[in-house]
Structures are given as structure tokens and as C-alpha cells.
Chains A and B, each alone.
Chain A
Amino acid sequence: MALINFLKPRNQLEEGGRSSAPVQQDEGEPEKNCPNCHKDIPLSRLWANNLVCSCGYHFRMKARQRIKLVADKGSFNEMFSDIVSGNPLDFPGYRDKLETVQTASGEDEAVICGTAAVGGQSCCLFVMESYFMMGSMGSAVGEKIALLFEYAVEHRLPVIGFTVSGGARMQEGLLSLMQMAKTSAAVKRHSDAGLLYISVLTDPTTGGVTASFAMEADIILAEPGATVGFAGARVIEQTTRKTLPKEFQKAEFVLKHGFIDAIAARSEQKKLLTELLKMHDRGEIV
């Protein structure tokens, strides 16, 4: 094991991604309390069930685990992984924060991009990482996503994107804000080329990511119970001095209000994505 892994804070939920076989439950095995049904679930059972509780609650999942779940085995080819954040505004504490987060998450940035096969269908795939500054979008995230859509246009590929984000990254100020316009422009070019883009909104998808590429897909899916919104619930409560309904900004609420196409449980996502990709396959020679 590399030294860096010793330094990483232990994240129990993360470990499932490393072991593909369901683990036998041992006596005294660590358990995780489900925030929905409040039952303690043995970690082995959670891992075996892709971090979904038997009550249906979807725990957050690391980006690389998700790639394993969705992409055909060995098909994912990562791209643009050398692009990372600088500290263009010289924002206090940002460089240290980045280093800490890089060590803790094992990722260099808040999004992983590449090409993959999903159910035998070629596509571009991006997956945001909640364990990296809550998937916040700075210049590097915007650049990688824009590059991926440009690559997809050039190679006439559909794009599948899993979003999770607290919004634009404050530490890069206006440059982060501008990534909303940059990514939107790239999505539009891809769309105008007649290509398919499917977004899957996972918990939480908020702020500048909701207000840009998360909501710009041809087909928008969401995981059950995922928080999907623009403004943070606390800010809304403070602004309006109203108590928010319990289901406010949950995927089910957003579906009811007409802003997403469907809710897809983790166990069904690959099948659904494969089917949708097939329905849009025009048999183009690439």
C-alpha cells in the first residue's frame, strides 16, 4: 500500500469500491446507521448492495465506484486527468485545502471524465466526486467538462454525466461562475450536433451546477431522495422565514414539478442508461 493511503482518513463507505465480491458478515462487523430507517446496517451488506439500504435510502458513493457500477468492465478510459485547480485568485487557504482534499479523496479534482462502454454502447462519461470539496465547480471542473463535450462532438458520442455538487467553487470567484457559461456553451454545441446527453443527478446537486449542465440534458434522471435545487434550503428558510415542506428539493419533489424525466434507483441505472443509449443509436460509422 502506498504511503499516501495510510495518510488518508478512513472512509468506511469508500471501501466498497475496492472489493467487488460481497463480503461475509463477521461478528462485530462495523455498521452504518441509515438516516432514513434508522437501522444499523452491516457494511458488508451495504457494499454488496451498492450503498443502498434495504429501505431504499441511497448513501453517497465515490465517483470511481460509480464508474465501476455503470461502465462495462475495463472499458473506462480516463481523460484530462492532468488538469487540476490552481489558485488563480490567491484565495486564502485554498492551496492547503486542495492538498488536504486531494490526499483525503485520492482524486485530483472534483470530476472524473473519460470514454466508456455502457451495455456495449460507446459514450463519454463524467462523474463528479462528492468527496472532493463537495463536487464544487472551479476552472478545472469546467475545463474538463467542456473538453469532454468537445471530444464527444468530434467523435460523435453521447455523454452521460453523474452530477453531485454544492455549486460553483467560491475560492475561484468569478472564474468559477464563468464555468457555468463555458460548460453550457459546450453542451449546446453537443446538442446542436444532434447528440444525446443524459444527466443523472445524485445527492446533492445544487447551485451553479443545477443552474448549468445538470439541467441542460436531453434526459434528466435522478437518484431516489437526492437533493436537487438551486438555492440552499437554509438560505431559503432564512430569506422567506417559512418552514420548508419535508420533501422540498428532493428528487421526487423535482419530478412532481416537472423538472426531471425519471427517478432511477442505483440498481436500475445501468440497464436504463443502456436502453436509452440504444434508443438513440443511429448506427453512425465513427
Chain B
Amino acid sequence: MSMPPYERVKLASDSARPTGLDYIRRIFKGFTELHGDRRFADDPAVVGGIAWLDEKPVTVIAIEKGHTAKDRAYRNFGAPHPEGYRKALRLMKQAEKFGRPVICFIDTSGAYCGIGAEERGQGQAIAENLVEMTTLCVPVISVLIGEGGSGGALALAVADRVWMLQNAVYSVISPEGCASILWKDSSKAESAAASLKLTAEDAKSLGVVEKILSENDIGKKEFYDRIRALLIGELKELSGDMDLIGKRYERFRRIGVTAKVGEQV
């Protein structure tokens, strides 16, 4: 009934899938893009701004891969530099100031691995997002729409609710990377994909995501209408919560499985 994990990995990165900007344009009204991290540059791999949802302003942030070859290159194939994460954080802080909820769409194979990215603190940029998002005073919903590549995806997913598209994947490392490090053989990616438990069902059973969104009508009007309705409903619930930050802390605090010395799990 369900597709093998490695098939999911390939499908999650399929260039025909809707990208972040498709979700922004089809779910929200009047998207006004805001650029730049105010420190170094504007990273086209991360798109952010303000839009209307149910006649209320919200901050939307998406990792964007692009559709055409030219656009994909311009978007660095959805692999953000530190500036992308810093722009996202700037917009989240702005949302906090003006009491707007934040909605993130995540689709990346990972934070960019490059010389400039390291020189400008890729690790620090991700770490800062993780820290700051844990106490952001407005509701945050993150939706994994394709690839959820490790820390580069998590940097936009320290949220009150994390949802995943049915065929999206979320993983600590790519199956190829895992196979090459553990078994010195990247061709074993298929079995690595199964072992890593990276599908939406896996993520849900591990307590990492709350909801899996069906892809039966992906890209159609009904698909976006459904996600819009879900977002509106969830934000209504979250907006009335007086202990948002406490619950967000607990949400992440409880994830993990450990054993006691001498005890088998």
C-alpha cells in the first residue's frame, strides 16, 4: 500500500512538485515580499514576507527551489546560505513585534555546504534560529512540503505545529550521505532510506509531526483550499493559547528515546 522510503525520497525532491512560492501564492492573498537579512545579503533560496490569511496579516516564509533551470540555479536549488536563515529570523522577530502568526514552508536538501556559508557562520545562523524560535511569542506553524534536509530544515521548524505532506521526507542526513559514511557505499542509499525512518508516517509515529497532509489532489485548487482551511483552524486554536511558549518547550523537550544503564529498549 505504501511507497518504499527511497521512492519517497526521490518523489520529495521531484522538480514537478509545487514549490514554496506556489503555496504562498495559492493559499494567501496579497503576498508582499520582504528581502534581505540586514547584515550581508538577500538569499533567494528563502522567500519571506507578509500576506493575508482569512483577512488577517500573517508572516510567511518559504524555502524556494524554483521550477525552471534558470530559476532553480538562482534559488541555489533551495539550499539556503546563512543569510537565508537570518532573513527568516528577522521576519519572525518582525512578526512577533506586530503580533502576527508565522507560517513556514520547508523544502530543502539541506543548508548549503560552501566556503562562504561556512565563513559567514552557517552553524551559528541555524543555532540562532533554533534558540530564538523556542520563545517566539506568536504562533508558528511549519509545513514540510518536499525535502526536509536536516538542520537546514529544522532551522524553520521549531514550531507549535509541524505538518508534513504525505510524500515529503524529513531526515537527519540524506540516505546517500548515511550510506557512504556508515557503509562506505552510497549505492546502499535505498536501505539507508528505510533505516533512517524519514517518511511522514515515521515522523508522525516518532512524535516529530502532528499532521500528514494528503497529496491526492496536489497542486489543484482543492489542495490549497484544504491547507488554507487547516491553517486558519489551527491558528484560531493557537492564538487563544496563553501558554504557547511553555507548550512549545514541552513539544521538543519530550522528543527522544533513551534507556537506563543495563536496560534493553
Chain A proximity of B72: nearest CB distance (Å): 16
Q: Which of A85, A91, A172, A230 is packed against the most chain B CB atoms within 10 Å?
A: A230
Q: Are A174 and B256 in contact (CB under 8 A)?
A: no
Bound complex: CA A211 to CA B177 (Å): 18
Q: Are A175 and B173 in contact (CB under 8 A)?
A: no
Known: A84-B261, A188-B135, A257-B121. A89 touches B151 (CB 8 A): no
B255 at the binding interface (Cβ < 8 Å): yes
Interface positions of A from 201 to 239, Cβ below 8 Å from B = 206-208, 210-216, 229-232, 235-236, 239
Residues in B with CB closer than 8 Å to A169 are 172
Residues in A with CB closer than 8 Å to B114 are 231, 236, 239-240
Q: Are B117 and A231 in contact (CB under 8 A)?
A: yes
Q: Are B181 and A170 in contact (CB under 8 A)?
A: yes
Residues in A with CB closer than 8 Å to B134 are 181, 184-185, 188
Q: Are A85 and B259 in contact (CB under 8 A)?
A: yes
Q: Are A175 and B257 in contact (CB under 8 A)?
A: yes
Chain A proximity of B116: nearest CB distance (Å): 9
- CB < 8 Å neighbour of A236 from B118, B195, B256: B118
Q: Are B182 and A170 in contact (CB under 8 A)?
A: yes
Q: Are B115 and A81 in contact (CB under 8 A)?
A: no
B253 at the binding interface (Cβ < 8 Å): yes
Proximity bits, B122-150, A CB within 8 Å = 1, else 0: 11101110111011000000000000001
Chain B proximity of A243: nearest CB distance (Å): 10
A72 at the binding interface (Cβ < 8 Å): no
A115 at the binding interface (Cβ < 8 Å): no
Residue of A nearest to B85 (CB): A211
Residues in A with CB closer than 8 Å to B243 are none
B111 at the binding interface (Cβ < 8 Å): yes
Known: A178-B252, A212-B127. A240 touches B260 (CB 8 A): no
Chain B proximity of A183: nearest CB distance (Å): 8
Q: Are B127 and A173 in contact (CB under 8 A)?
A: no
Bound complex: CA A91 to CA B144 (Å): 24
Bound complex: CA A192 to CA B114 (Å): 33
Residues in A with CB closer than 8 Å to B260 are 82-84
Residue of B nearest to A249 (CB): B118
B95 at the binding interface (Cβ < 8 Å): no
Known: A146-B253, A230-B111, A239-B113. A211 touches B126 (CB 8 A): yes
Q: Are B256 and A185 in contact (CB under 8 A)?
A: no
- CB < 8 Å neighbour of B265 from A86, A93, A189, A191: A86
Contacts A140-B259, A211-B130 known; list 19 others, CB within 8 Å.
A83-B258, A84-B258, A88-B206, A88-B265, A142-B256, A143-B256, A168-B172, A170-B196, A177-B170, A177-B171, A180-B151, A215-B127, A216-B130, A230-B111, A230-B126, A231-B113, A231-B114, A239-B112, A242-B115
24 A-B residue pairs with CB within 8 Å: A83-B258, A84-B259, A88-B257, A89-B195, A138-B256, A170-B172, A170-B196, A173-B198, A174-B202, A177-B170, A178-B256, A181-B154, A182-B253, A188-B132, A188-B134, A208-B172, A211-B111, A211-B155, A213-B127, A215-B123, A231-B114, A235-B177, A240-B115, A259-B121
Q: Which B residues are closer than 8 A to A by beta carbons?
A: 111-115, 117-124, 126-128, 130-132, 134-135, 150-151, 154-155, 157-158, 170-173, 177-178, 181-182, 191, 195-198, 202-203, 206, 208, 248-249, 252-253, 255-261, 264-265
Q: Which A residues are closer than 8 A to B by beta carbons?
A: 81-89, 91-93, 108, 138-140, 142-143, 146, 168-170, 172-182, 184-189, 191-192, 206-208, 210-216, 229-232, 235-236, 239-240, 242, 244-245, 248-249, 253, 257-259
